[in-house]
Structure 1
């Protein structure tokens, strides 16, 4: 589930419950649980389940046509009529929660008094379908992103109508794995890198009775300095 209220919407702050939240063994921080009710188009039901709207509501051709006739009046929903299931079930308690949400409470014209609460948990959903295409959505917003001043401002708004916006947490997409970058060849393009002469520690003295060219080693085996490749060639020459 991904629940959010995009744009400024009318709501009611039904309850403000000031709490304390324990962090670790001894540390306690202030917290608040806000019970909010928003009346929205029944399209909000698709945020909970894509089939829920069609289960509770149905199209009514006459009612929809009547809504279209009224100029300047926005059509609430394309499915305004409650089905029998919607009217019989009544309130629906939805057991789910969402963490990392942000709640904006708008106050005044200038925006100086706006309240922004971050890192909140949204839970305790209750859905009340209504005839005409609207649905009341009750939910609780819990957060520790408060101080004494904000708690006082929220207490004043208890049981008042407010303008809110609820943002769901951002979806973090995994970055695609990039292929390994090709390694630049050493040396200039088109040139073949010459093999360097092995260091002294990598050179071997000839222990064989013949030299690398096949001639007899008069030194008794050991004075001529050979590379490992030359030593291997000399060993084949004696076999």
Structure 2
């Protein structure tokens, strides 16, 4: 499953809101994050997606900077823009650090990732935008409101690694190819 380990992400927006749970309101929030990752992240979503969006660089274009990779660094359809991905991923945990003024990262559990979009960038980089939907505490909501338009360090832990309490086990895909 898709995971990130200590990636630099921009908090594009945090929208605190109320949800009805029976007769009571419960605090909920939508955290919109933008992160630049390696295009190889696309392989976690659909096999062949990266090959559909990237091609090998031609003579005079930016070449692959990593030895031994497949060389898919040029965007095939640069005018296509960001592509929406219509699937939700429940059960994630977010660890947010950096800029929060906390000694320990902010840990948010039971997060659903949704409204994903992929924007292929030259050089084999992918701009990944998504919303994380969860039920924050008042303190978490306040801390996240303060981070709107700021960069944070983000770790996403998939449901598969929740029981282990581990950080992500996949290779670090946040480095641009």
Q: TM-score range by the shorter chain?
A: 0.7 to 0.9
Matched ranges for 1:15-94 at <5 A = 15-23=13-21, 25-60=22-57, 63-64=62-63, 67=65, 78-83=71-76, 86-94=77-85
Say yes or no: does 1:129 pair with 2:120.
yes
- Calculate the aligned-residue CA RMSD, in Å: 2.6
Q: How many pairs align? A: 160
Distance 2:69 2:109 in 1: 30
Partner SS for 2:50: helix
CA contact (8 A) 2:42 2:50 kept: yes
Normalising by structure 1, report the TM-score: 0.61
Query: Greater strand share, 1 or 2?
Result: 2
Distance 1:160 1:75 in 2: 35
Distance 1:141 1:44 in 2: 18
Larger of the two Rg values belongs to structure = 1
- Per-residue CA deviations over 1:115-157 (Å, capped at 9, x if unaligned) read 011001100011110111101000000101x211111111110
Unaligned ranges ≥5, structure 1: 69-73, 173-239
Partner SS for 1:99: strand
Find 1:10's aligned residue among 3, 8, 11.
8
Partner SS for 2:145: helix
Query: Greater helix share, 1 or 2?
Result: 1
